[in-house]
Structure 1
Amino acid sequence: MGNLVKAEFRKTLTTKSWWGLMIPAVLFAFLFALGWGAVTNDVNDFFGSSEAEEFAAATGVQLVELPVGLLALAHGANIGMMFPVIFGVFALAGEYSKKTITTTFLTAPNRGSALTAKMLTYMVWGAIYGLVIVGASSLGTVLTVDSRGLPTASQWLGVLGAGVLATILATLFGIGVGAVWNSVVGATITLTIWMLVVENVLVFVAFGWWGVTWLGGVLPNGTLNGVVGAIGAEAFGAAGLSVPGALDDDLQWLLQYAAGAPGAFSWWAAALIFLAWTMLFFVGGWAANQRRDIT
């Protein structure tokens, strides 16, 4: 297994996909955190006004201690997580496209060993993506958010851990979708349209027309965003077990949206639900590739 993992790392490093996708991931994470950082300063000004007293009474949150910088940090990290998903698509679907999958399967004891080596290798890559993306988002946050709104050290470490967990799962999710679809182009286009357009429209329509606030907390993109975003929502008293009963459902959803996690129940619930989506596609892709012909 060790040799198979080494071979996978060498294979990945000889391609341009790992850095070709990491560059936009860093740029988007930094720029989104930079933009949202400027907005959060205005939010903090609001929280310093008398109009915020009602909000404080409803949520039970100490506004003077509210780390609004978590909004910028979460949005930056979440937008960057689309790229490790696409990177994961290349793991197996890319080999079918380049006709190198035959060599991969024939040089391994069996297909299960080859796929396990890919899984282990891309988990490491996912962790690397997580560290880089959270780092870029943190830089954008620090450059624009006032010191009074910056997260505490423990909150930042929580975002870092959640971000690494999310990108590992995102990469495995991409592997699974690519394995099922067996096409880099098809899987990438489908994932991009679904995660950036279709799912967001569904969540907005469900909330606006039917008052359904939980849909984003069970769909793939919403749960992926919720792993990090729910940490910010929890700081607002809008997610997690500490949600006060007095908090209005619509207000709770809007605060979750501001944190980049509309419908999220908590960060750990989001992680478990997205893990279920990941396993659904990963196991499906695994099964499909046990029977798929190679040439």
Structure 2
Amino acid sequence: MGNLIKAEFRKTLTTKSWWGLMIPAVLFGFLFALGWGAVTNDFSDFLGSSDTREITGALGIQAGELPVGLLALGHGVNIGTMFPVIFGVFALAGEYSKKTITTTFLTAPNRVSALTAKMITYIAWGAIYGVVIVGAASLGTVLTVSGERLPSASQWLGVLGAGVLATVLATLFGIGVGAVWNSVVGSVITLTIYMLVVENVLVFVSFGWMDITWLGGVLPNGTVNGIVGAIGAEAFGAAGVKVPGLDDETQWFLQYIAGAPGAFSWWASALIFFAWTMVFFVGGWAANQKRDIT
């Protein structure tokens, strides 16, 4: 198994995909955190004054000390997480497209060993992406958010842990989708359109027309975003333990600007997205046990 894992790392490092996707992940994570940090630094200005007093009073802090840096971090990490998903697609679907999957399977004792080594390797890559993306988002946040509004040390560590968890699961999710679809182009295009456009439209329409506030908390993009975004929402009493008297519209708005509309809590988002990941990952695993490699 050790040799198979080394082989997987070598195969990945000889391609351009790992750094070709990491560069935009860092840039988008940094720029989104930078932009949202600039906006949310004056968060109390665009919240209604009564809502601000209600939220800060319930949380026991001053309005000017709201940890709005968490909102910038959430958006920065969430946009960056899209790239580990795409990176994961290349794990199996990329090998089929390049015709290298035959060598991979024939040089391993069996397909289970080959796929297990690939899974372990990409879990490590997902963690690397997580650390780098959180670092880039943190830099963007520090540059634009006032000191008293930055997250506490424990919140920083929480975001780091949640960010790594999100990117690891996102990478495995991408592997599963690519393995089921068996097409890099089809998987990447479909995932990008769905996660950036289709699901967001569904969440907005369900909230605006049908008053459904929870849909984003159960769909794939919403749940992977909620792993980090819900930490910011929880800091404002809009997820997890809700601030007493906070109406559903304000709660959803706070969740939205935290990057986690509909999220129940960070751990619930992680569990639900883990379920989505397993559906595709196990499906792809099963499909590749008997798929023809000739």
| TM score, norm. by length of structure 2 | 0.96
Distance in 2 of aligned mates of 1:82 and 1:50: 36
The reply on whether 1:140 has 2:158 as its aligned counterpart is no
Amino acid of the residue matched to residue 154 of structure 1?
S
Contact conserved, 1:92 with 1:178, CA < 8 A, in 2? yes
Contact conserved, 2:55 with 2:237, CA < 8 A, in 1? no
- Tell me how far 1:244 sits from its aligned partner: 3.0
Q: Deviations over 1:183-206 (max 9, x none)?
A: 000000000000000000000000
Contact conserved, 1:73 with 1:138, CA < 8 A, in 2? yes
- Tell me how far 1:46 sits from its aligned partner: 5.7
The reply on whether 1:239 has 2:233 as its aligned counterpart is no
The reply on whether 1:120 has 2:123 as its aligned counterpart is no
Q: Percent identity?
A: 82
Written as runs of structure 1 = structure 2, the 5 A alignment for 1:10-159 is 10-45=10-45, 52-57=52-57, 59-60=58-59, 62-64=61-63, 65-159=65-159
Q: Deviations over 1:86-128 (max 9, x none)?
A: 0000000000000000000000011011000000000000000
Amino acid of the residue matched to residue 287 of structure 2?
A
Q: Deviations over 1:37-72 (max 9, x none)?
A: 110122145679677324445x54524442111010
Distance in 1 of aligned mates of 2:10 and 2:146: 43
Distance in 2 of aligned mates of 1:47 and 1:203: 22
Distance in 1 of aligned mates of 2:54 and 2:223: 30
Amino acid of the residue matched to residue 114 of structure 1?
A
The reply on whether 1:259 has 2:238 as its aligned counterpart is no
Amino acid of the residue matched to residue 251 of structure 2?
Q
Distance in 1 of aligned mates of 2:188 and 2:10: 23
Q: Deviations over 1:244-287 (max 9, x none)?
A: 34211111111000100000000000000000000000000001
- The residue aligned with 1:164 is 164
Amino acid of the residue matched to residue 111 of structure 1?
R
Distance in 2 of aligned mates of 1:51 and 1:2: 56
- The residue aligned with 2:287 is 288
Distance in 2 of aligned mates of 1:48 and 1:291: 59
Q: SS of the counterpart of 2:242?
A: coil
Distance in 1 of aligned mates of 2:50 and 2:255: 23
The reply on whether 1:4 has 2:7 as its aligned counterpart is no
Contact conserved, 1:47 with 1:63, CA < 8 A, in 2? no
Distance in 2 of aligned mates of 1:61 and 1:248: 19
Gap runs ≥5 in structure 2: none
Contact conserved, 2:55 with 2:243, CA < 8 A, in 1? no
Count the aligned residue pairs.
293
Q: SS of the counterpart of 2:174?
A: helix
- The residue aligned with 2:267 is 268
Contact conserved, 1:28 with 1:80, CA < 8 A, in 2? yes
Q: SS of the counterpart of 1:81?
A: helix
Contact conserved, 1:72 with 1:141, CA < 8 A, in 2? yes
Q: Where has structure 1 moved over 3 Å in runs of 4 or more?
A: 44-51, 54-57
- The residue aligned with 2:247 is 248
Gap runs ≥5 in structure 1: none
**RMSD between aligned alpha carbons?**
1.5
Amino acid of the residue matched to residue 217 of structure 1?
G
